[in-house]
Structure 1
Amino acid sequence: MTLLRRFLRSPEGTIGLVILAALFIAGLLAPIISPGDPLRIAGRALLPPFSDPGLPLGTDRLGRDVLAGLLHGARTSLAVGIAAALSAMVLGLFVGMAAGFAGGLVDETLMRVADAFQIVPGFLLALAFVSTIGVSTPVVVFAIALGTWADPARLTRAQVLSIRERDYVSAARVIGMHPAEIAFKEILPNALPPVLALSATIVAGAILTEAALSFLGLGNPNLATWGSMIAEGRSVLRSAAYLSVLPGLTLAVTVVGVHLFSEGLTKVLGSDGGSR
């Protein structure tokens, strides 16, 4: 509760939390607010916003409800972003812990693998992976995680290298604790806060990457996504700019919300670490 109070005292953290909470609620309530398939034909094509009470944000070129697309797109973007970030964090923590705790040849080998993944931009790696394997939500999640795990791995390794030399870790070795027990009970809890702060940035990057893949036609075609909505509006940008502007603004607000949430989380975890 103390951490939550400190987080809410941070203006950027509070604003980010409000934005993300609104998006989560919108995504959860999407089947209630806009029931049925968001990709179905709902009315006349290119109906402008606020011209029909039943379709408040209008329709696209095929007559699909723009509001339904935005709401269901929130579910898709948040689910893909969180799942990809979680996968990247788990892989990065495992690799970073193994490299930092084992040291020597294991450390050198794992860090060279991380270097190899960091050389290639994450989006290009995801693009190549999805183009090769095929388009589906699990493939998109794995492709995004594949391009982002190296940063948490390096940060975890740096934290582990610092923590493993501290007195309480040496004391744990002296009393005969198993190396795995030392790693997961003594080192990991203290190495975790900076990595958790990084996770919000990974979520934002994952949401942008998913939108970019959908924009290029490499997202799941059976799901409403903000990237595909932006791409859909390109051909009528002059006459119906709202088709690209609305999902674009929603995407921008989401990324800003995640960034602000990350800033607040970094301050709280940083001050908590400093107090210890």
Structure 2
Amino acid sequence: MSLRRLFRTPEAVAGFAILGCLVLMVLLAPVLFPRDPLSIAGAPLLRPFQDWALPLGTDRLGRDVLAGLFHGARTSLAVGLAAAAASILVGSVIGTVAGFAGGLVDEALMRITDAFQTVPGFLLSLALVSVVGPSLGVVVVAISLSAWTGPARIARAEVLSIRERDYVASARVIGMHPIEIAFREILPNALPPVLALSSVIVAAAILTEAALSFLGLGDPNRVTWGGMIAEGRAVLRSAPFLSIIPGIALVLAVLGVYLAGEGIVESAATRRGNA
């Protein structure tokens, strides 16, 4: 996929522009704001642009809103990427095993997938974090548990269509082990449709992490956008910027991930149509 073809789509241009800003925030956060973002930086409830040393003001405890915004981007991106990677890895393995093995193995794995799909993803994440305790790792695992079913079903469908092709039959004839055939010959060819779900999973993971943090179930040692929105809820009338600023950042991040994913899918579809 050429960059020229990719950036012909307005969705990709907008999405990657937003993602570029998000990545810059992540990289520059420890440089521009080396202090602990949870430390007190000034007088409480300073309004934006009232003090140019604290351009976006401070919260109820006097913490720098701009520093929290930059460090919160690190948490959101880390959770989104880690949850997407774990979900795609688990889903691809389960879908490949189910589609290649067939029979009782396929039936059992698909019923387990159905069981996970019957529970709303956010409720599953909420229950796990409530029981185990809030931390970044637990949040990633909780989100992944509710997101792997989509990749699993797509991987299974792709494997079912690939496993009878000639090159797979040739691999059986020459004596390759079934596991080697499944994960070396079939899975790489089944991955592209699965990877197309990445943007959706990342966006959903960012929103879920923010919702958990808003409810007080995020990592207490990290600044999160959801936690910043919850912090501003108590003074919403007198200082609405405390919730509005991280809320806008959250919307833009999710929109950027989604638009970038749409741009990649549209560019890939255009390439296949021209082939």
Tell me whether the two structures share a fold, i.e. TM-score over 0.5: yes
Residues 115 and 273 (structure 1 numbering): CA distance in 2 closer, same or farther, change over 3 Å?
farther
**CA-CA distance at 1:272 after TM superposition:** 5.0
- Deviation of 1:8 after TM superposition, in Å, equals 2.0
CA distance in 2, matches of 1:103, 1:19: 43
1:208-253 deviations in whole A, cap 9, x for unaligned? Answer: 0000000000001110000000000111111111000000000000
What are the ranges of 5 or more consecutive residues in structure 1 without an aligned counterpart?
none
Q: The residue matched to 1:37 in structure 2 has which SS?
A: coil
| Residues 159 and 191 in structure 1, CA contact (< 8 A), matched pair in contact too | yes
1:161 match: 160
The CA distance in 1 between the partners of 2:177 and 2:270, in whole Å, is 31
Matched residue type, 1:179? P
1:180 to partner: Cα distance: 2.5
CA distance in 1, matches of 2:266, 2:148: 23
Shift of 1:267: 2.1
- 1:147 aligns to what SS in structure 2? helix
Aligned CA RMSD, in angstroms, stands at 1.5
Q: Which runs of 4+ in 1 moved over 4 A?
A: 271-276
TM-score by length of 2: 0.96
1:6 CA displacement: 2.4
Shift of 1:207: 0.3
Residue equivalent to 1:205: 204
The answer to whether the 8 A contact 1:100-1:161 is kept is yes
Q: State, as a whole percentage, how many aligned pairs show the same letter.
A: 65
For residues 2 and 46 of structure 2, the distance between their equivalents in structure 1, rounded to whole angstroms, comes to 47
Alignment: residue pair count? 275
Aligned match of 1:193: 192
Alignment partners' CA distance in 1, 2:149 and 2:274: 29
Structure 2 unaligned regions, length at least 5 = none
Would you say the 8 A contact 2:97–2:182 is kept in 1? no
Name the residue aligned to 2:116. Answer: 117
Match of 2:242 in 1: 243
**Deviates further, 186-195 or 115-124:** 186-195
CA displacement at 1:269 relative to structure 2: 3.5
Match of 1:73 in 2: 72
8 Å contact kept, 1:92–1:150 = yes
One-letter amino acid of the structure 2 residue matched with residue 258 of structure 1? V
Map of 2:81 onto structure 1: 82
- The residue aligned with 1:173 is 172
The change in CA–CA distance for 1:274 and 1:155 in structure 2 (over 3 A counts) is farther
